[in-house]
Structure 1
Amino acid sequence: MTTALVCHMNILLADGSTAESTRVSGKPTKLMLGDASLSPAFEAHISHLNEGDSHRFNLAAKDAFGEVNPDAIHHLDRSRFPADMALEVGVIVSFAGPGGSEIPGIIREIAGDSVTVDLNHPLAGHELTFELEVLQVL
């Protein structure tokens, strides 16, 4: 059986800075329990929460967005990008994935005609603190 938690969530980096916050957009997130979309460690922290609960917890990188996978870092020739695309370090570019999905990648380095693109989740490799406020249990 799956349960959904509708909540506001802040994700904090180890230095205390905010990496992501649903409060900024004003749009809460929906977290699905029991469908394997969340890591077992993440789900264990939130499975007991009820409407109105607030919870703060830390997760190691492997239990949050995973470790950095070196196989997800690609060196591509500049010619693989549109000629009019401004390529700069830190820019997020989108690639076609399976079934018409889009896979975001971050440009990490540009050396001559070689462009290094990192397809890892931007928060991969980071120990993170999660702050949740449960608005609704579905």
Structure 2
Amino acid sequence: MSAVVVGKKVKIHYTGTFDDGEVFDTSREAEPLEFEVGTGQVIPGFDLAVIGMKVGEQKQVRLPEEQAYGPYNQEMVFDADPNQFEDGLTPEVGQQFQTQLEDGTPLLLTVKSAEEGKIVLDANHPMAGKALNFDLEVVEIN
């Protein structure tokens, strides 16, 4: 039976939790996640965790923030001019907007605070700075 290696396409069932046990995502009630190992389609630690696994094998891993969405970067929090938003749009705390960097890369912004004349946006991934736990099961290797 072959094992997962870099360059193989795999299908994985997973359940992701934070350290407090809260589930943030799962594929168990849907189709398994399919990706090519080692190509950056998933977070780095997820890629590394499946290498060497075989079909039917299950594994639990804890990924430190560096192997997940990276550390939280305070420099990615900034003030925005409320006039930049469409007329009639009043940003609210927790609301998310998608924009693009100059090279076309999508960027998700989250409203951290919204006060009269001042909006604070956060360009960190919502899970930056967090360790993530995964229950993994290899379903298929191609």
TM over 0.5: yes
Distance 2:112 2:16 in 1: 23
Distance 1:124 1:14 in 2: 14
Distance 2:93 2:71 in 1: 21
Match of 1:106 among 93, 104, 110: 110
Give the TM-score of the pair, scaled to structure 2. Answer: 0.83
Give the TM-score of the pair, scaled to structure 1. Answer: 0.85
Structure 1 position 127 matched with structure 2 position 136: no
Considering only CA atoms, is the larger Rg found in Structure 1 or Structure 2? Answer: 2
The structure with the greater share of residues assigned to helix is 1
Paired position in structure 1 for 2:141: 137
Query: Could you list the runs of 4 or more consecutive aligned residues of structure 1 that deviate by over 4 angstroms after TM superposition?
Result: none
Shift of 1:89: 0.8
Sequence identity percentage: 21
Structure 1 position 47 matched with structure 2 position 51: yes
Shift of 1:86: 4.0
After superposition, the CA RMSD in angstroms is 1.9
Residue ranges of structure 2 left out of the alignment (5+ in a row): 1-5
Residue ranges of structure 1 left out of the alignment (5+ in a row): none
Residue 66 of structure 1 aligns with an amino acid whose one-letter code is G
Count of aligned pairs = 136
Paired position in structure 1 for 2:23: 18
SS at match of 2:28: helix
